[in-house]
Amino acid sequence: MNLLVPLVFSSFKEIVRQPFYYIILLSGCFIILMSFAFTFFAFGEEASMIRDMAISTITIGGLLAGCLASSILIAGEFERQTVLAVLCKPVSRVHFILGKYLGILAATCLLVLSQGLVLEVALIIRGCSTVQGDVTSFSGLIDFVCILGICFSLLQILILTAISLVLSLYLNTISNLTICLFFFILCNTFSYISPIHGHSNVVASIATAMCYIVFPNIQALNMPVINEVAIGPSSLWQGSNVTQYVVYNFLHSTIYCAAIVWLAIFLFKRKEIA
């Protein structure tokens, strides 16, 4: 632990010093605030439209920041050969991978939470300006669906950053980003593709089940599903079902990330460093 904390802090400082970090942060905040101007044809669904657009922006920005950070910290270390200087010290390869990953997550979480705070404050201000009559309580102005969407956005970033960490051991930045983008699109469309061939025969059913294990169901963490679960008809979605949905996706994402990080450690232990 005494060796891990300095590695995490060092990785965090290296990421927040990068220009791309502030470009993503400021451009994301700008797009979030601009989304309030694109609700002319929402017809009473302005808040939902703003929330969906803004959280999609936060998710994409966080994923981009996490994948870029992984490439800079891991692939960059190999290109500059500075990884040798780090491993010559009493730092194990396990601590190296965990320190980099946790440092990336800390910087990315700061980015996402900052943009999420801007969104939540903007929604509260909008809610205050549109309230008619008596003053509404502050708790009534807080958009809890928005907070859930931000938390699930962090889970998506947790998964893609772990995958990018593995790819960074062998690939450069462009290849890493390309594969992560393909993986993200595939995971968001897999549930639409799999039912077409899922029940045609036994082999296809087994292949579909294996794909659901290998590829995380990122689509279940997106705002359309969250809206359906959280604010759907009460006859279909009770409070217990919402809790079950949140707990299941949190545990599934955490276990999946742990497995991917373990794979990164396993591969890094067997990687030859010239």
CA nearest to 70, candidates 103, 114, 113, 112: 103
In Å, how far are 15, 17, 115 from 9, measured between CA atoms?
A: 10, 12, 22
CB 194 within 8 A of CB 89: no
Task: Give the mean pLDDT of 140-164.
Answer: 85
Alpha-carbon span 237 to 250, nearest angstrom: 18
DSSP letters of 102-116? HHHHHHHHHHHHHHH
The domain locations on the chain are 4-269
Enter the tokens of residue 201: 């025969």
- pLDDT tens-digit profile of 81-137? 777 666 666 777 888 888 889 999 999 999 999 998 988 888 888 777 665 544 455
* pLDDT tens figures, 255-267: 989 999 999 889 8
Closest Cα to residue 74, out of 172, 181, 175, 180? 172
Task: Say what the pTM is.
Answer: 0.83
Give the Cα separation of 53 and 66 in Å (integer): 20
Name the band, by pLDDT with cuts 50, 70 and 90, for residue 235.
very low
Q: Is 135 helix (H, G, I), strand (E, B) or coil?
A: coil
Q: For the segment 207-232, what is each residue's pLDDT rounded down to a tens digit? A: 666 776 777 778 878 877 777 776 65
> Among the listed ranges 93-102, 187-196, 264-273, which one has the minimum average pLDDT value?
187-196
89 phi and psi angles, rounded to 5 deg: -80, 170
- The CA distance from 100 to 270, in Å, is 18
pLDDT at 221: 82
Q: What does the pLDDT read at residue 234? A: 45
What is the Cα–Cα distance from 181 to 185, expressed in whole angstroms?
A: 6
User: What CA–CA distance (Å, rounded) separates 179 from 171?
Assistant: 10
The Cα 255–Cα 91 span in angstroms is 26
Q: Please indicate whether residue 189 or residue 140 has the higher confidence score (pLDDT).
A: 189
Provide the pLDDT for residue 171. Answer: 84
Residue 200: strand, helix, or coil? coil
Confidence at residue 132, expressed as pLDDT on a 0 to 100 scale: 52
Residue 185 has pLDDT above 70, yes or no: yes
- Between 89 and 198, the more confident residue is 89
So what's the pLDDT on residue 214? 74
pLDDT tens column, 35-79:
877 765 556 566 778 888 888 899 999 999 998 888 888 877 777
Q: Of 105, 117, 122, which is closest to residue 16 (Cα–Cα)?
A: 105
* Nearest CA-CA partner of 18 in 64, 86, 78, 79: 64
| Under 8 Å between Cβ of 167 and 179 | yes
pLDDT at 153 over 50: yes
Contact 130, 37 (CB under 8 A): no
The chain-wide mean pLDDT, for the chain, equals: 79
